[in-house]
A = this chain, B = another copy of it.
Amino acid sequence: MNETDRSMLGRVFRLLECFSVARVRMTQSELSRRTGLPLPTVHRLCTQLVTNGALERATDGRYQIGVRLWELGALAPRAHGLRQIAMPYLEDLYEATHENVQLIVRDGLEALYIERLSGRAAVTVVGRAGGRLPLHASSGGLVLLAHGGGELLDAVLEAGLERFTPNTITSEHRLRQVLDDIRRRGFVVCREHLNLGTLAVAAPVQRPSGEVVAAISVVIGADVDPAPLIPALRAAARGISRGLTTEESSTE
């Protein structure tokens, strides 16, 4: 593979990464504008990506991510693989609470939702499966941060603790206290850290080696007492952990 090839793969991902929850369908002109690539290049890339099933054309002619890419993505052990193991427990937790139930892994300095069961009656939360949230400001992110090691914490502190609400953890001192607390107690309760009006509880999912590979969380209204939820949350996290072998959900 020469330099042309390399930049070509870079261009392909630049194009694919234009798509987002807010922009699931785009014309070639929009893709050209967002990538900065010339229209003829975008045209040729789109044609090739359609041939390979990575993109599809919607009824209106715009491009969208294709089911083939979804199918490939579904093979990611840290996402879909983990999700398959977790689903029965997430469903039990959802049936028990009828609140928003989430499965979260870390990708770089962000928490990434792998699954979100969201009842129509449950409190409305920001994001969706595939959405990303900052580690320091989400309950699942804090759990992953608590078990991510010193280098990760340094990187998060370096990046800065952005404030989302008056309750967001923005001081290193308080963050270290909360992380110690998570490691000691095995769960975290975050009241309005990220959104006003919601409260989130989270617990770690661990491999037999003790390595924390994911977190699960439940989001409820900020006026609800979270105490009755904690045992069910922790039981679900332990159930998923038991389902993990050393193989599943392995990370880099």
- Interface size bucket, A side? 35 or more
Chain A 35-52 interface 0/1 with B at a Cβ cutoff of 8 Å (1 = within): 000000100110011001
Chain A 1-35 interface 0/1 with B at a Cβ cutoff of 8 Å (1 = within): 11011101110110011011100110000000000
Q: Take A58-B250, A87-B118 as given contacts and tell me if A10 and B74 are in contact as well, using a CB distance cutoff of 8 Å.
A: no
Given the complex, which residues of B lie within 8 Å of A118, measured CB to CB?
87-88
**Which A residues lie at the B interface, using CB under 8 A?**
1-2, 4-6, 8-10, 12-13, 16-17, 19-21, 24-25, 41, 44-45, 48-49, 52-54, 56-60, 64-81, 84, 87-88, 91, 94-95, 105, 107, 112, 114, 117-120, 128-130, 246-247, 250-252
Given the complex, which residues of B lie within 8 Å of A5, measured CB to CB?
4-5, 8
- Contact assessment for A20 and B75 in the assembled complex, using a CB-CB cutoff below 8 Å: yes
A207 CB → nearest B CB, Å:
10
- Contact assessment for B10 and A8 in the assembled complex, using a CB-CB cutoff below 8 Å: no
A-B contact pairs, 24 of them (CB 8 A): A1-B41, A2-B4, A4-B5, A6-B48, A8-B8, A9-B48, A9-B52, A12-B12, A21-B75, A24-B81, A53-B107, A56-B78, A59-B246, A59-B251, A59-B252, A64-B77, A65-B75, A67-B76, A67-B79, A69-B72, A69-B76, A70-B80, A71-B79, A88-B120
Q: Take A9-B12, A13-B54, A117-B91 as given contacts and tell me if A67 and B78 are in contact as well, using a CB distance cutoff of 8 Å.
A: yes
A31 CB → nearest B CB, Å:
14
A22 CB → nearest B CB, Å:
10
Given the complex, which residues of B lie within 8 Å of A252, measured CB to CB?
56-59
- Contact assessment for B13 and A71 in the assembled complex, using a CB-CB cutoff below 8 Å: no
A42 CB → nearest B CB, Å:
10
- Contact assessment for B107 and A17 in the assembled complex, using a CB-CB cutoff below 8 Å: no
Partner of A94, one of B72, B74, B91: B91
Q: Given the complex of chains A and B, what is the CA–CA distance between A19 and B69 in angstroms?
A: 12
Given the complex, which residues of B lie within 8 Å of A65, measured CB to CB?
72-73, 75-77
Closest 7 A/B residue pairs (Cβ): A73-B73, A74-B130, A70-B73, A70-B79, A70-B76, A65-B76, A58-B250
- Contact assessment for B250 and A64 in the assembled complex, using a CB-CB cutoff below 8 Å: yes
Q: For residue A48, which residue of chain B has the nearest CB?
A: B9
